[in-house]
């Protein structure tokens, strides 16, 4: 897990703490080890390790589902790195190495053609299982997902994750 390298006193990036009281302004950015960049958000739902979220400019995080792609083009994508409870404040990762993303099924590491967002919210899938035309770029899996076919938090590098609607 990342260690904070910015000068924010009390910023805990390890993903194990979420607060009912805001400790920082929403949208505050922190930097961490492994080239990581984090944003302080208010969770609109409960997020688990690796779950992909959509960030609005006011600092709220929403579950990333493909129906949000067409309506919210200016929003950022990030990944929760631990449990973040609904209506609580915490940090989500927008960039960096050795971070986790949630995947469904088997995805091979090193895929540089983009991965899709599955029917299950906040999870990546291989192309055939993705919502029609919805591809996410800027997420590079650095380890294979297990072949069990279940939901797995898999190590990845995030470099400005964004989606492309190819419809």
Residues 75, 165: Cα–Cα separation, whole Å: 14
The two three-digit tokens of residue 156, written as one number: 């990845």
Reported as a single tens digit per residue, the pLDDT across 125-142 is: 765 555 555 677 788 888
Reported as a single tens digit per residue, the pLDDT across 15-61 is: 666 688 899 999 999 999 999 999 999 999 999 999 999 998 899 99
- 19: DSSP letter: B
- What does residue 66 show for φ and ψ, rounded to 5 degrees? -60, -25
Is residue 48 within 8 Å of residue 83, measured between CB atoms?
Answer: yes
């Amino acid at each position: 897990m990342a260690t904070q390298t910015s000068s924010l006193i009390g910023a805990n990036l390890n993903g194990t703490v979420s607060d009912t009281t805001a400790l920082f302004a929403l949208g505050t950015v922190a930097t961490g080890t492994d080239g990581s960049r984090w944003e302080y958000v208010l969770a609109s739902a409960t997020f688990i390790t690796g779950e992909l979220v959509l960030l609005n400019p006011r600092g709220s995080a929403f579950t990333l589902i493909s129906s949000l792609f067409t309506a919210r083009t200016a929003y950022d994508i990030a990944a929760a790195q631990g449990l973040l409870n609904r209506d609580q404040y915490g940090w989500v990762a927008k960039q960096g190495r050795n971070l986790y993303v949630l995947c469904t099924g088997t995805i091979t590491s090193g895929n540089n053609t983009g991965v899709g967002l599955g029917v299950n919210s906040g999870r990546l899938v291989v192309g055939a299982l993705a919502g029609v035309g919805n591809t996410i770029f800027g997420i590079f899996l650095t380890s294979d997902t297990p072949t069990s076919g279940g939901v797995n938090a898999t190590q990845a590098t995030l470099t400005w994750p964004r989606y492309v609607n190819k419809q």
